[in-house]
Every structure is written in structure tokens, then in C-alpha cells.
Chains A and B, each alone.
Chain A
């Protein structure tokens, strides 16, 4: 599941960019004999300890680039040359960020592997000097310490981190299709052991400070402070600095040793890792696992393993060389470009381009305590939004409340929340069967059954009780918002908010605006979505909006492929082999066959022949037999509680047999099957941009990857067209068009791109 892992972690990575920042801190230091101000660094001297403060101008975060590195080494050279200084502390002046990593744009600018390799080598040189420093250097870490930041920190002699939620350490390079290229692959295994180092570098996961202390990644923890003589964040950084200075002195005086006591398990592990045979087994196991999970679509993990292996088996010179070369190779891969593109897109989709709403949503009301309604409630209450959850029955409401509680309690089990926090968050949720309190609601999100008549009924009921400013949002996956709003007295306050299931896991929120929806309504919906932690795309109203509309032709093709005799397991492996995190047949089961049927019929009516292909009858028959997918225990597969292995549903055979279509051998190779699915998706996505449903290709890519599981290694349909070549896609479409007709006719925008190769979406 590296693919989905990549999605998950990318979000956290993105979140770091949007951290709250209280502006820069100006401080005068007492007792400093020298104060040299440069662009990114300044340093003062406290006694015999140099305190180097990193604070890049005009940015919320510190990142590493050439200029920063050369300035850093300049500062360090002065420190090394100064006889009065015996040790140093390296700290960031930015609240919530130590160093967020290397400058991605610097890497993106690299045209050749050699250029990127050079960047890596420059980084290696700087950190090697730091590692060999005769004067101890203490890294004082508050906030994110990621990528190059982590590599810098582990080159220091000692690390002290604040035990703050914002303080996370990690090597997320793999999520951008890269490897830690400034010595990380060489130092991490030595510092935290081979298994832990692989885990960090291959998953890119963020490690909280207390965990980092246990792993040996940091040496001391500093508790974040509350308000005192100064604002908490400011004083915490100051306190961290004071503590770090004490330790720097202690290290210089040899009163403290940087070595730490290892636990028994750790000792045993490191002993085992000293045996070459065991190491070989570990490499083999890890490699196997990576190959299985990435299906060969992501080159970075294997190169990481290679670089680590080279360093450990052939010495550090070979290791560093391997690291920098592989870094160079990775930096210019399509996969890396795609993942970096997603990262940028995600940052964009975490902003509210409609500005701040006039009124913040403080009181939310949700109609329908089903899977979606309760999911929306969960992501709202845990951000402190007071939420009314209304359902028609006590049983339905109870189920929804239990879902929210379970979601929160799972976090307690993972120690992400305390039980006290869980209870206090859960108190934000009020379950009810009537409209009591709706007169104070700022927004109502309905998540009732997908039926226009029911939606109309609740809209009218709700409008009778809500205040004038209250927004009515509809969580629907396919019903046009315009039609829902038709019965509204105030259509400017009606908007679509399409969440994806499961709401607490899926990051995407698709917001749908009609021609009548006001700017402020949109701004308010985005603001709430951002608060809920969502990545947001804003699209125009139309049948299926963007996401469902792209999914429909793909699903139709999938049904046709099944009708042509490809069994669901084979189909799943073909689609996951292309990079989809979930196989196509499994996806249908997860979404729900009845939902798929609804969508297929609705959109089939709206778009006609072009959305044809597979026969909706297949879905109808499945629904008739109760094969609704995972929720009913049977779909294409049979689902058993507690069992991970799923078997094909043999009762499907008769349905397949009755609807069997002859396969067309000229377009039925494995590759053709994959491309039939993907090109229909891509063509429809491009058409959405052409028709103005989508405002930007970025939103199209983010929506496809985060909402529908489009292969992250391809970067989304638009990035895919850019990287793969519009002409090649058009050629494919033409080939299938010749067999199946207009379902594969490439849209005009795609043809334009094919005709003029200089045209790119990015």
C-alpha cells in the first residue's frame, strides 16, 4: 500500500506548509559578544556557546538550498575558527518549524541526473564537516524536522527536541520519489538501527518527539511551555535554547556524553545486525516487501535499500557515492515529477482562494447519521466544531454516534488522543431526532439517501427552521445541485459538498457550486472543509460533477471487461498493477454496487451513448440478488468478518454468463485492458476541464488521486498526459475507438494538446 501511504503522508507533509505562524520573533540576547546578521542565519555567543539561529526571510518555513548551505558553512567556519567558542547550538527562530526539508524547487530545476547528484554531494560535504566538528553542535528542534532538516540534525553531535505535537521528525523523500540524499541513507541506519531506518525512509512517516527519543533519534526532550512572561511559542523556543546551551556546555566540558544506554531489545537487534547473514536476510525481506507493494511502479524505495546496503557492506565512501548517484537518477524520473506535482497541488488545494467567509461555521448540523453523515460529524467535532447530528430513527442515530465514538476511540488506542480528550471532543456532538437547535446553525450538511424527492423534502423542512445566514450543503455524489436547489427559497445559500467514504480517511472534498451559489457561501464551505483537514477542489455543477463523472465511464469499461470474460481477480491485479491503490472490482464492492448502479443510470441518461460500454443490467442483477458489495457481505467477492482473504463470489458466474460479450482480441491484451480503463478516465477528465467543470488541471489531478485513487505515480490525469504524451494517449483512444466507437473519441482539448506538443497542462 505504498501508494495510499504516499497519499496519506503527503497530506501531513502539506499540512506543515500551512502551519500557523505568529510572525517572526525579534529577540535581543543578553551576554552576546558578537551578533552577526546574515540573510538566513544569525548567531550570538552565550558564554562560550555559539547560538546559531536559522530564520529564512519571507517564508513560514526554513528550507535548505545552496545559498542557505553556503551561508551555514560560513557561519560554522567562523565558529570553528573562534577560540572563545567551545560548542554550538543550532536552532530555528520559526515557531513550528526547525527545517522543513530541502527546497523542492531547487530539485525540480535539475535537468540532468548529474545536476541533482551535485546537489546531493554538496549537501553531503556540508554535513560531513558538521559531523566531524571538534566542537560539539547541539540541534535544538522545535517543529518539523524533515528531510534535509533531519539529515542536518543527525549530523550534529546531540539533539534536543520539544515534546510538542508539531515537532515531528521524518525522512519523507520517498513520498516525492526521492531518497535522503545528504547522508541520510548512511547515518540513519547507524543511529536508529537498520530496521527502524528502513521503516523511516521507506514509509516517510513522521515520528513524534517522544517516539524519537525512544528510538535514539533525539537525546533529550523539552516540554512545551504555557503562557508566562511571553507568548507560549516564543518562550518555549527560548527555553529550548537555554536548555540546549546547558547541554552544549556540558558536552564541551565532557560532563555529558552523547552516547545513550540502549535497551535490551535494541542491543539484541544491533547484535543481530552485526551478522552479515542476518543483514542479507533483512535486505531480502525488505526488498521483497517493497516489490510486492510498489509493483515496480515506484523506483525510489528500491534505490533507498540499495544505498543503505552499499554503505553498510562496502564502506561509507561507496555508500555516499551510491546515495548521491541514485539521488540524481531519481530526481529526474517521471515518478518523482508526478509526486512533486501532487505535493504542490496539495499545497494549493489547502488554501481558500475565495477568501475568508463573513461568518465562521461554529454550529454545524448534519442530517442523516449514516456512514457519510457520521463520518462528516467525526471530522468536524474533533476540530472543535459543535455539531448536531439528526437522524430519523433512534437506531440509525445510535449507529452514527457509535461510529463517531469508535473513530475517536481508535485514536485513543493509537495514543493520538487521551481518553479525556476523546470525551471532551465527543461532547461536541449532539444526537437528535428533531430540528431543535437548528435555529442557531451556521451550516447544514445533508447526507440523506440519494433521492431527489427526499433531498427536496429535507431542504424544505430545514429552510423552515434555519436562520437567514445558514448555508445548506448537500453531500451527494451525483445529483446535480441545481436540481436540489430548485425548491430552495435562497439558492445562493445552497452548495454541494461531496465527501468521500470513509470520511475520516479520505482527504478529498469536492465542492460544487451552481451559477446561483454566492461567493461567500463557497468561501464558507471551503473554510469548513479546510478546518476538517480536507484537500479541496471546487468544481462547477453538472451531472456527476468532476469525480463521479470521471469514474462513470471507467466503471462502464470495467463492466464491459468483466462481461468479456476477464475475472474480477485478474481485473483487480491489472488495475493495481497500473498503480491504482484499489482494484477496479474491489472498488465497486467498496463503493457499493447499488450506488454504482444509481450513478451509471443517472449519468447514462445525462451523457448517453458516450458513457455506454458495459451493460448496467449486470449491476441491476447484482442488486436484485443482494450483492451490494462489502456492506452486504457479497459483491464480486465474498466478505467475511475477521477474514482478510476474500474469495470470488461464485454466484456471480450465472450473471456473467447471461451477459457475456465476445472479447475483441485486438484490444484485449493486459496492457490494452489497462489503457482502456485509464484512457476513458483521462479523456473524461480533460473534457471536464474543456467544459469548465474544472477550473484548473491541478484540481483535476488532486481530485483524481485523492478522491478516486488515480495512480499517484502518474500524478493525476493531467500530469499523466503531460508526462506520457498527449499524442500517445490520442493514439490509444483512436485504436479503441475503431473497435468500440464514440466512447473512446478523444475530446477536443486532448486533440489540441496532441497537435501541438508544446502545449502542456503544467
Chain B
């Protein structure tokens, strides 16, 4: 396997997609992949279903994804969300009053703007008659926002819904300890001086130690990086493989950025700062450089490092060891009829989707493995029908473990209730414009980025079906089929 990865990434930046496809394919042991996309006929011409409304993505945008603590550090989450909404308004020229509903995903909530969708919409000048709500489902929060929109439109409630996601990790709510909070609340209730003094006398210095938002899984108390390291070990993914995959992600992202393929990015004039127009986490390094890094979670012999994780802030010693990116995304989702009536040329259909969940301890990040076959079967497609794979990359080790899990008969039989393995993923169709490892991963905003990347890649490369998949904290996952809109 190692040789394939190395081979692929070394070739990718300099060769065309097709050339690469051919040089990799003979190495692959899976027979079904040998059929080249050129001669391939799809299992289904379209995924349109009788008696169901077609739902389309008119377009989608995102502000640049930045490392936390950089240009967005003085903003609030609704500022980023507002910027994404304004970008969407500008890109689509949709009249604000047409928008029926707005829904956003986010993970770490700013207490002041717990319904960040509403605050951002009001600020962006949407009608105060347009309701908005915020959803949360860890790293697939904006996926949840999109499928919520799909549900609202499919059931005929609305025609035009804006879905998006936002995350600002530059600032997070750090709370007083429970003891301190209790004391402060009791203090409010205390009426006499005596009561207050007696409360104060109970104060201890350790009350002041703050409570950081937990990154650890609540049910298992294990951090995601730690789980990813164990997952990589369980699937015998080596450090070298992980570094190589991370390098591939960064190299491809760099190339996509340089070639201007990341067209969903809209510039954002940050108040008091320069206009930001590019993702700033893309940093192709060398394997030698990456090999020098120490393991970030399982010390001293683990394999997950800052370099093969999505934007891990190095040298974080406390439990506050986050994967940290700031960013926001938004997209315009409509019923096909409405979009056509308004004269839009949609980019893609949103088709079948699934949510999956599994053991949050040992299979925390295996969501894509479970979601992929399920959503394909639901749509009546096979792996061969898919032209574009857009998977969320939480960690190199996680992606590679998912690859190995999908390529393992043993795993399929013992844990997925399948007779045979899901199959190996064709790397030449996989995250070819970079992924969360290189572009960054603002938890709540990544889902929309995945779908827009899939839609844009389908158009650019002339494919028909894309598969979007992601894992999320809580041992959950998501898979969705995106079908390109006929030209």
C-alpha cells in the first residue's frame, strides 16, 4: 500500500488526472477498479425519484479557512457566518425576501449567540421575517444543516433555504468552575450581609480554576487524537503512510489553490485588518521535516502528529489540545422548480443521504466506512459509478484506517454485517483538491465545503456522481450523493 500512496502523491501535482489514473490502476489489486471511468456506464442515469421534488444547490461559498489565532481572532462566530451569508448573497444575487428559512451548523457555541444562524442572518440584512435555527452534530453539523434544508424542501414546507456552518476556535467559552458558578448564583440569592459573608467564607482558591470546553469524547473521556492514534494502530497504519497522505493533501490543496480551483472561497474584508482571500493552512512540507515531529497524543511512540492532523496547534499541553480552524460556509438550496423559475442554473442535485453511528470508543472515526456502502446501496449505485470522492480528513491515520476498513473482508464480515468488503477507494478520484488536513477544518463549516468541492469538481471534471462522507465525534458519520446538474 505504501508504495501506492507515495507514487500517487509524487505524480499527482505534475501529471493530469487521467495519466495518473492509469499509472495507479495497474497497481491496484481490486478488479472492479480496472474499468476506467471513460468506458464506464452508470448504474442509473439519474437519481431523480418519481413523486419527489428534486432539490438543487444553486451555489455555495465559504470565507477562507484560517488557522485559529490569525486574522479572525478578534471576531465573533456570527461575524464569520455573516461574511459567508453576504458572500452567498453576492454570488447568487438572490433577493433576500425570497429566502424562506436559514439553518446553520456549529459545534462550540458562543454563549451570547447560541442561535448563531439568526444573529448572522439579521446582521447580514436578511428579512427579520425569515426564521433561522442552529443545529449541532459535531463535525457534521453543516451536513445536518444541509439535510435539514433538504427535508424542509422535500416535504413541501419551503422552496428556498440557506444552509451553512460556522466555527470560531480563536475564541471559545471558558467557564468558571461549577463550584464558583454555584457560589455566584447563590450570592445573587443571598439577601443579608450575613448570608453573603457566610457564602464568601466558603470560597476556596481552587474555585478559580477555569473549565475549558472539552475536546474529549464525553462518553469515553478520550480525546479524538488519542482515538485516531489507536485507530491507526488497529489498522496497522504506519507513521510514514500517514505523513505521506498528509503531504499529498497539502500538495493537492496547494495545486488547487494555485490553479484557482477553489472557487467557493469568497474574500472577506476583516474589520481593522487586510482582506483575506486565501486559506492559510496549506503548507506542503517534506517527509523529512514531518518525520521530525513528536507524536501529539500517544507519547512517546504514537503515530499521530501535528503534521498529519487537521490544523493541530502544536505544543498544546493541556487537554485543550484542539484541532483548530476558523471559518464559515453557506449555500443556497432550492427546489429545482423554484430555481428554474427564478432563472438559476443550479450546480448540483442533493440526492440520497444517510447518517450512521457506531461505538464511540474504538470506532469513533470510522463513520465513512459505514456510511459509504449504506448510501450507495440506498441510491442504487456502486463504487464504480462515483466520479468524485470528497471525504472529510480529520487525521491522516483516520482516512487511511477508513481505507483499510473498507478494503477488509474481515472487518466487513465481523463489524458491518456484510458478506464482502466495501472495496478499495480509487485514490485518483479522492480529495484531489486537498482536504481538511490541508484546507483546515472549522468543525461546523466543513460539511458545506465538502459538498461544494464535490459539485465543483464534478463540473470541472465532467463527472456525474460524487460521494461525500465524513466522521464526527460521538462515533457518528454521514454520507451523501451529489449529482451534477446537467449542463
B18 at the interface (CB under 8 A from A): no
Contact B219 A225 (CB under 8 A): no
Instruction: Give the docked Cα–Cα distance between A247 and B415 (Å).
Output: 33
Look across to chain B and name the residue whose beta carbon is closest to the beta carbon of A226: B362
A228-B236, A229-B235, A229-B236 as given contacts; A223 in contact with B414, CB under 8 Å: no
A223-B226, A227-B363 as given contacts; A232 in contact with B234, CB under 8 Å: yes
Q: Which of A220, A235, A243, A420 contacts B234 (CB 8 A)?
A: A235
Contact B233 A227 (CB under 8 A): no
Task: List, in ascending order, chain A residues with CB within 8 A of B220's CB.
Answer: 418, 420
A246 at the interface (CB under 8 A from B): yes
A283 at the interface (CB under 8 A from B): no
Expressed in whole angstroms, the minimum distance between the Cβ of B477 and any Cβ of chain A is: 15
Look across to chain B and name the residue whose beta carbon is closest to the beta carbon of A235: B234
A230 at the interface (CB under 8 A from B): yes
A232-B362, A418-B221, A420-B219 as given contacts; A226 in contact with B231, CB under 8 Å: yes
Instruction: Give the docked Cα–Cα distance between A627 and B415 (Å).
Output: 60
B320 at the interface (CB under 8 A from A): no
A239 at the interface (CB under 8 A from B): yes
Of A229, A232, A235, chain B has the most CB atoms within 10 Å of the CB of A229
Contact A223 B298 (CB under 8 A): yes
Contact A227 B415 (CB under 8 A): yes
Instruction: Give the docked Cα–Cα distance between A229 and B410 (Å).
Output: 7
Task: List, in ascending order, chain A residues with CB within 8 A of B405's CB.
Answer: 228
Task: List, in ascending order, chain B residues with CB within 8 A of A247's CB.
Answer: 301
Task: List, in ascending order, chain B residues with CB within 8 A of A226's CB.
Answer: 230-231, 234, 359, 361-363
Which chain B residues numbered 58 to 77 have a C-beta less than 8 Å away from chain A? none
Contact A239 B233 (CB under 8 A): yes
Contact B401 A228 (CB under 8 A): yes
B218 at the interface (CB under 8 A from A): yes
Task: List, in ascending order, chain A residues with CB within 8 A of B411's CB.
Answer: 227-229
Task: List, in ascending order, chain A residues with CB within 8 A of B361's CB.
Answer: 226
Contact B408 A229 (CB under 8 A): yes
Instruction: Give the docked Cα–Cα distance between A231 and B235 (Å).
Output: 11
B441 at the interface (CB under 8 A from A): no
Instruction: Give the docked Cα–Cα distance between A418 and B221 (Å).
Output: 9
Contact B234 A225 (CB under 8 A): yes
Instruction: Give the docked Cα–Cα distance between A216 and B221 (Å).
Output: 24
Task: List, in ascending order, chain A residues with CB within 8 A of B301's CB.
Answer: 220, 243, 246-247
Of B219, B230, B405, B414, chain A has the most CB atoms within 10 Å of the CB of B230
Instruction: Give the docked Cα–Cα distance between A142 and B404 (Å).
Output: 26
Instruction: Give the docked Cα–Cα distance between A247 and B300 (Å).
Output: 10
Task: List, in ascending order, chain B residues with CB within 8 A of A229's CB.
Answer: 234-236, 404, 408, 410-411
Task: List, in ascending order, chain B residues with CB within 8 A of A418's CB.
Answer: 220-221
Contact A228 B234 (CB under 8 A): yes
Interface size of A as a range: 10 to 19
Instruction: Give the docked Cα–Cα distance between A318 and B221 (Å).
Output: 49
Of A223, A228, A243, chain B has the most CB atoms within 10 Å of the CB of A228
Expressed in whole angstroms, the minimum distance between the Cβ of B360 and any Cβ of chain A is: 10
Contact A420 B231 (CB under 8 A): no
Contact A225 B233 (CB under 8 A): yes
Instruction: Give the docked Cα–Cα distance between A232 and B414 (Å).
Output: 11
Which chain B residues numbered 292 to 320 have a C-beta less than 8 Å away from chain A? 298, 301
Task: List, in ascending order, chain B residues with CB within 8 A of A230's CB.
Answer: 410
Task: List, in ascending order, chain B residues with CB within 8 A of A228's CB.
Answer: 231, 233-236, 401, 404-405, 411
Instruction: Give the docked Cα–Cα distance between A243 and B239 (Å).
Output: 13
Which chain B residues numbered 163 to 183 have a C-beta less than 8 Å away from chain A? none
Contact A227 B234 (CB under 8 A): yes
Expressed in whole angstroms, the minimum distance between the Cβ of B155 and any Cβ of chain A is: 33
Expressed in whole angstroms, the minimum distance between the Cβ of B205 and any Cβ of chain A is: 21
Task: List, in ascending order, chain A residues with CB within 8 A of B415's CB.
Answer: 227
Interface string of A220-261 (1 = CB under 8 A from B): 100101111111100100010001001100000000000000
Expressed in whole angstroms, the minimum distance between the Cβ of A614 and any Cβ of chain B is: 54
Task: List, in ascending order, chain A residues with CB within 8 A of B404's CB.
Answer: 228-229
Expressed in whole angstroms, the minimum distance between the Cβ of B145 and any Cβ of chain A is: 28
Instruction: Give the docked Cα–Cα distance between A220 and B218 (Å).
Output: 26
Instruction: Give the docked Cα–Cα distance between A305 and B82 (Å).
Output: 73
Instruction: Give the docked Cα–Cα distance between A417 and B463 (Å).
Output: 52
Expressed in whole angstroms, the minimum distance between the Cβ of B9 and any Cβ of chain A is: 23
Task: List, in ascending order, chain B residues with CB within 8 A of A220's CB.
Answer: 301
Expressed in whole angstroms, the minimum distance between the Cβ of A261 and any Cβ of chain B is: 13
Which chain A residues numbered 173 to 228 have a C-beta less than 8 Å away from chain B? 220, 223, 225-228
Which chain A residues numbered 131 to 163 have a C-beta less than 8 Å away from chain B? none
Interface string of B337-363 (1 = CB under 8 A from A): 000000000000000000000010111
Look across to chain A and name the residue whose beta carbon is closest to the beta carbon of B234: A228
Task: List, in ascending order, chain A residues with CB within 8 A of B233's CB.
Answer: 223, 225, 228, 235, 239
Expressed in whole angstroms, the minimum distance between the Cβ of B127 and any Cβ of chain A is: 44
Instruction: Give the docked Cα–Cα distance between A356 and B109 (Å).
Output: 53
Contact B221 A225 (CB under 8 A): no
Interface string of B199-230 (1 = CB under 8 A from A): 00000000000000000001111000010011
Instruction: Give the docked Cα–Cα distance between A246 and B302 (Å).
Output: 11
Task: List, in ascending order, chain A residues with CB within 8 A of B408's CB.
Answer: 229
Look across to chain A and name the residue whose beta carbon is closest to the beta carbon of B414: A227
Look across to chain B and name the residue whose beta carbon is closest to the beta carbon of A160: B301
A232-B362, A420-B218, A420-B219 as given contacts; A225 in contact with B414, CB under 8 Å: no
Instruction: Give the docked Cα–Cα distance between A235 and B234 (Å).
Output: 6
Interface string of A562-597 (1 = CB under 8 A from B): 000000000000000000000000000000000000
Task: List, in ascending order, chain B residues with CB within 8 A of A420's CB.
Answer: 218-221
Contact A225 B230 (CB under 8 A): yes
Task: List, in ascending order, chain B residues with CB within 8 A of A225's CB.
Answer: 230, 233-234, 362
Task: List, in ascending order, chain A residues with CB within 8 A of B218's CB.
Answer: 420
Look across to chain B and name the residue whose beta carbon is closest to the beta carbon of A227: B415
Instruction: Give the docked Cα–Cα distance between A247 and B405 (Å).
Output: 28
Task: List, in ascending order, chain B residues with CB within 8 A of A232's CB.
Answer: 234, 362
Expressed in whole angstroms, the minimum distance between the Cβ of B416 and any Cβ of chain A is: 10
Instruction: Give the docked Cα–Cα distance between A232 and B362 (Å).
Output: 9
Look across to chain A and name the residue whose beta carbon is closest to the beta carbon of B232: A228
Instruction: Give the docked Cα–Cα distance between A330 and B322 (Å).
Output: 57
Look across to chain A and name the residue whose beta carbon is closest to the beta carbon of B219: A420
Task: List, in ascending order, chain B residues with CB within 8 A of A243's CB.
Answer: 301
Instruction: Give the docked Cα–Cα distance between A239 and B415 (Å).
Output: 20
Of B301, B408, B410, B415, chain A has the most CB atoms within 10 Å of the CB of B301
Instruction: Give the docked Cα–Cα distance between A225 and B361 (Å).
Output: 10
Instruction: Give the docked Cα–Cα distance between A420 and B405 (Å).
Output: 28
Task: List, in ascending order, chain A residues with CB within 8 A of B221's CB.
Answer: 418, 420
Look across to chain A and name the residue whose beta carbon is closest to the beta carbon of B362: A226
Task: List, in ascending order, chain A residues with CB within 8 A of B226's CB.
Answer: 223
Look across to chain B and name the residue whose beta carbon is closest to the beta carbon of A418: B221
Instruction: Give the docked Cα–Cα distance between A524 and B315 (Å).
Output: 56
Of B234, B301, B414, chain A has the most CB atoms within 10 Å of the CB of B234
Task: List, in ascending order, chain A residues with CB within 8 A of B234's CB.
Answer: 225-229, 232, 235, 239
Instruction: Give the docked Cα–Cα distance between A418 and B408 (Å).
Output: 33
Look across to chain B and name the residue whose beta carbon is closest to the beta carbon of A423: B219
Look across to chain A and name the residue whose beta carbon is closest to the beta carbon of B226: A223
Instruction: Give the docked Cα–Cα distance between A406 and B421 (Å).
Output: 46
Task: List, in ascending order, chain B residues with CB within 8 A of A239's CB.
Answer: 233-234
Look across to chain B and name the residue whose beta carbon is closest to the beta carbon of A247: B301
Instruction: Give the docked Cα–Cα distance between A232 and B218 (Å).
Output: 23
Beyond contacts A220-B301, A226-B361, A228-B236: 4 other A-B pairs, Cβ-Cβ < 8 A, are A223-B226, A223-B229, A229-B408, A235-B234
Chain B residues with a Cβ under 8 A of chain A? 218-221, 226, 229-231, 233-236, 298, 301, 359, 361-363, 401, 404-405, 408, 410-411, 414-415
Query: Mind listing 25 A-B residue pairs with CB under 8 Å?
Result: A220-B301, A223-B233, A225-B234, A226-B234, A226-B361, A226-B362, A227-B411, A227-B414, A227-B415, A228-B234, A229-B234, A229-B236, A229-B408, A230-B410, A231-B414, A232-B362, A235-B233, A235-B236, A239-B233, A239-B234, A243-B301, A246-B301, A247-B301, A418-B221, A420-B219
The 3 closest A-B pairs by CB, nearest first: A226-B362, A228-B234, A225-B234
Chain A residues with a Cβ under 8 A of chain B? 220, 223, 225-232, 235, 239, 243, 246-247, 418, 420
